[in-house]
Amino acid sequence: MRVIMAFLLGSWLLGMILVAVVAAENFFEVDRLLSSPPSTAYRAEFQKRLAPLAAGDARVALRYLSSELNRFYFRVWGGAEILLGAALLVLARKSGMDRRFRAGAWGMLALSLLMTFYLTPQLVEVGRALDFVSRDTPPPQLGRFGILHGAYSALDLLRLLVGIWLTVRLARRPAEN
């Protein structure tokens, strides 16, 4: 069971890191695509297709697409995290892991539930309200989005640290007979 728990924890931690990297890179890729000269026929064709759009409109449309993809990834990943956390807790209980380990796993799961069912829907709602709003004058929702995003990021970092701590505890546990 220890190997399965290690696999679940590793999957959870790796998934958290990958989703964070993909979410950030989706937005950076929009700017890279729009600013770099065509280096391939595909890139030239891409820029040719965007040419009829006003300069700012192509960026807004592509960032909207990135936002929608990220929203999808975070919703799906949130569900996967809940399944991983529940499975980890069941195995921790069955294998006789100590209370501190189980408390850490409960903490990670509780944060995942909070983030999936409370923070993510709010981020989606506020984010969609900002998708097509001019940023020349910062819209009032931008401050709320920043607070929600900061809270999400802080809780994600906390979960990551707890997950690393759980992994170390699991690795240091004496081998089963």
Q: Which tokens sit at 50?
A: 């965007």
DSSP 135: S
pLDDT of residue 135: 82
pLDDT of residue 121: 98
Question: pLDDT by residue for the chain (177 residues), tens digit each?
Answer: 999 999 999 999 999 999 999 999 999 999 988 888 778 888 888 888 988 998 789 999 999 999 999 999 999 999 999 999 999 999 999 999 999 999 999 999 999 999 999 999 999 999 999 999 988 899 999 999 999 999 999 999 999 999 999 999 999 988 764
Q: Where are the domains of the chain?
A: 2-172
Closest CA to 112 of 71, 166, 163: 163
Torsion angle, alpha carbons of 88, 89, 92, 93, to 10:
-150
| Rounded distance between C-alpha atoms, residue 61 and residue 53, angstroms | 10
What's the pTM value of the predicted model, to 2 decimals?
A: 0.90
pLDDT of residue 176: 67
DSSP 132: T
pLDDT of residue 111: 98
